[in-house]
């Protein structure tokens, strides 16, 4: 018997409470940075499994020390989204809440973080139940506010590095549109680095009939939007991947008034720090130059927000975990995942410790079905084999480092 088969032996019992917990979490999503009940539930369960549990920065960490050996950290994000669920599932969320702007919004686990919580708690129980075949420390980290890129930083700001030992390796997983039961993993960049920028352009207000007395920020903003499209097409080396999207352009109130400012909300996605510097530098250069071209009376302002770091999997860690996945799941259930344009703040915690990491994708949908994407009101992963595969993946990856047969 290998360590993996021994630790996974009681999985049938774990699966029962996991499915109930999954439905409960799915029906009770909470917004980013407001995951109070979710964190309390996690804390209760980890404590009952015998973990040393500490709430940190809105999240929860459980540490299970089991003799000498490496320290392995597995992270799950726990927040829901302001989306009104339309999946028609019998356990669909009907929850609503009032957001920070005072609007009543629907609430849904539209990114599958309920899968992440359930699979990590399941793996945490299994690791605690059967300790003989492994040695070392297993850390289960539950992070709030992934969707707003604030949660990992909040845990670090609250002193996470003093609360847990330095992990030798860190893992994360995300349920994605692949076939349920399959796992995608790849070394190198796997999720993009993202920045959002609020750009304010200044004009000079005037009557719509007297444009010569003002500086029209709408014409200026239009020129900026057009010109930004040239960054990816004309400034990056062919093959360097990036996205520059203007998601909002706001200016003006009436047809006969030239307003005095325009605001743009720009979002960028890149896969290396070098390309990030090029893209952000080009945006600022173009905006400033267009303001000058329009004789703008005041320099533009740039406010950066919702900044996600690059998720770039360590080569050796990814190869080791991939080999363990291949051995456990069989090579037909493990595939090399392409980098995706979405972003994550997962890497902040391993980066704070200087810890190598790998982050893999967990399939969650029936074969051949067209899966609604993450964040869609129709996002509906199937419970099984998703929950079981996700639980097994955590145990298999952890034991690749902690198993006594290794």
Least distance from Zn ion to the Cβ atom of residue 81, Å: 7
State which residue, 155 or 251, has the beta carbon closest to Zn ion.
Answer: 155
The footprint of Zn ion on this chain (CB under 5 A) covers a number of residues equal to 1
Least distance from Zn ion to the Cβ atom of residue 111, Å: 3
State which residue, 42 or 264, has the beta carbon closest to Zn ion.
Answer: 42
Q: How many Å apart are CA 406 and CA 403, to the nearest integer?
A: 5
**Other CB atoms closer than 10 Å to residue 219's CB: what's the count?**
16
Among the listed ranges 105-113, 158-166, 308-316, 360-368, the one in contact with Zn ion (CB under 5 A) is 105-113
State which residue, 111 or 231, has the beta carbon closest to Zn ion.
Answer: 111
Binding mask 177-216 for Zn ion (x = CB under 5 A): ----------------------------------------
Among the listed ranges 104-112, 135-143, 187-195, 356-364, the one in contact with Zn ion (CB under 5 A) is 104-112
Q: Which residue is nearest to Zn ion (CB)?
A: 111
Q: How many Å apart are CA 361 and CA 342, to the nearest integer?
A: 12
State which residue, 111 or 201, has the beta carbon closest to Zn ion.
Answer: 111
Binding mask 136-175 for Zn ion (x = CB under 5 A): ----------------------------------------
Is 176 a binding residue for Zn ion by CB under 5 A? The answer is no
Give the DSSP per-residue string, 48-85: HHT-EEEEETTEEEEEEEESSS-EEEEEEE---BS---
- Among 389, 233, 388, 217, smallest CA distance to 296 is for 217
Is 74 a binding residue for Zn ion by CB under 5 A? The answer is no
Contact 307, 152 (CB under 8 A): no
Q: How many Å apart are CA 93 and CA 259, to the nearest integer?
A: 43
Least distance from Zn ion to the Cβ atom of residue 174, Å: 6
44, with CB counted inside 10 A (0-12, 13-18, 19+), is exposed
State which residue, 300 or 361, has the beta carbon closest to Zn ion.
Answer: 361
Q: Which of residues 356-395 bind Zn ion (CB under 5 A)?
A: none
Is 111 a binding residue for Zn ion by CB under 5 A? The answer is yes
Least distance from Zn ion to the Cβ atom of residue 344, Å: 7
Q: How many Å apart are CA 296 and CA 218, to the nearest integer?
A: 12
Q: Which long-range contacts (CB under 8 A, 24 or more apart) does 235-243 make?
A: 235/278, 235/282, 236/275, 236/278, 236/279, 240/272, 240/275, 241/270, 241/271, 241/275, 241/339, 242/268, 242/269, 242/270, 242/271, 242/275, 242/279, 243/192, 243/267, 243/268, 243/269, 243/270, 243/341
Among the listed ranges 103-111, 158-166, 223-231, 361-369, the one in contact with Zn ion (CB under 5 A) is 103-111
State which residue, 80 or 203, has the beta carbon closest to Zn ion.
Answer: 80
Least distance from Zn ion to the Cβ atom of residue 342, Å: 7
Q: Which residues bind Zn ion (CB under 5 A)?
A: 111
């Amino acid at each position: 018997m290998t360590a993996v088969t021994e630790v996974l032996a009681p999985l049938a019992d774990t699966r029962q409470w996991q499915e109930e917990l999954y439905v409960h979490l799915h029906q009770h999503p909470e917004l980013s940075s407001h995951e109070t009940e979710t964190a309390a539930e996690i804390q209760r369960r980890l404590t009952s499994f015998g973990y040393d549990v500490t709430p940190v920065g809105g999240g929860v960490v459980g540490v299970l020390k089991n003799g000498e050996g490496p320290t392995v950290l597995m992270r799950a994000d726990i927040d829901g989204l302001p989306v009104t669920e339309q999946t028609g599932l019998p356990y669909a969320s009907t929850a609503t809440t009032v957001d920070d702007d005072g609007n009543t919004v629907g609430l849904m686990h539209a990114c599958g973080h309920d899968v992440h919580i359930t699979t990590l708690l399941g793996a945490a129980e299994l690791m605690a139940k059967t300790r003989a075949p492994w040695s070392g420390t297993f850390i289960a980290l539950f992070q709030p506010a992934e969707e707003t890129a604030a949660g990992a930083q909040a845990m670090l700001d609250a002193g996470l590095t003093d609360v847990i030992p330095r992990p030798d390796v860190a893992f994360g997983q995300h349920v994605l549109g692949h076939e349920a039961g399959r796992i995608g993993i790849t070394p190198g960049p796997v999720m993009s680095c993202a920045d959002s920028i609020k750009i304010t352009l200044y004009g000079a207000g005037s009557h719509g009939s007297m444009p010569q007395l003002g500086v029209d920020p709408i014409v200026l903003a239009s020129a900026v939007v057009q010109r930004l499209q040239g960054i990816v097409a004309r400034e990056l080396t062919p093959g360097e991947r990036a996205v520059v999207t203007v998601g909002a352009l706001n200016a003006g109130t009436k047809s006969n008034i030239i307003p005095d400012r325009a605001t743009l909300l720009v979002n960028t996605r890149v896969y290396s720090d070098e390309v990030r510097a090029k893209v952000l530098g080009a945006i600022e250069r173009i905006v400033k130059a267009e303001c000058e071209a329009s004789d703008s009376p005041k320099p533009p302002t740039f406010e950066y927000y919702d900044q996600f770091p690059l998720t770039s999997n360590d080569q050796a860690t990814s190869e080791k975990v991939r080999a363990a996945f291949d051995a456990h799941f069989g090579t037909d259930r493990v595939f090399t995942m392409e980098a995706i344009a979405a972003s994550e703040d997962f890497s902040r915690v391993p980066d704070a410790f200087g810890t190598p990491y790998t982050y893999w994708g967990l399939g969650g949908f029936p074969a051949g079905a067209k899966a609604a994407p993450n964040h869609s009101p129709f996002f509906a992963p199937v419970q099984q084999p998703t929950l079981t595969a996700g639980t097994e993946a955590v145990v298999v990856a952890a034991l690749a480092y902690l198993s006594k047969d290794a």
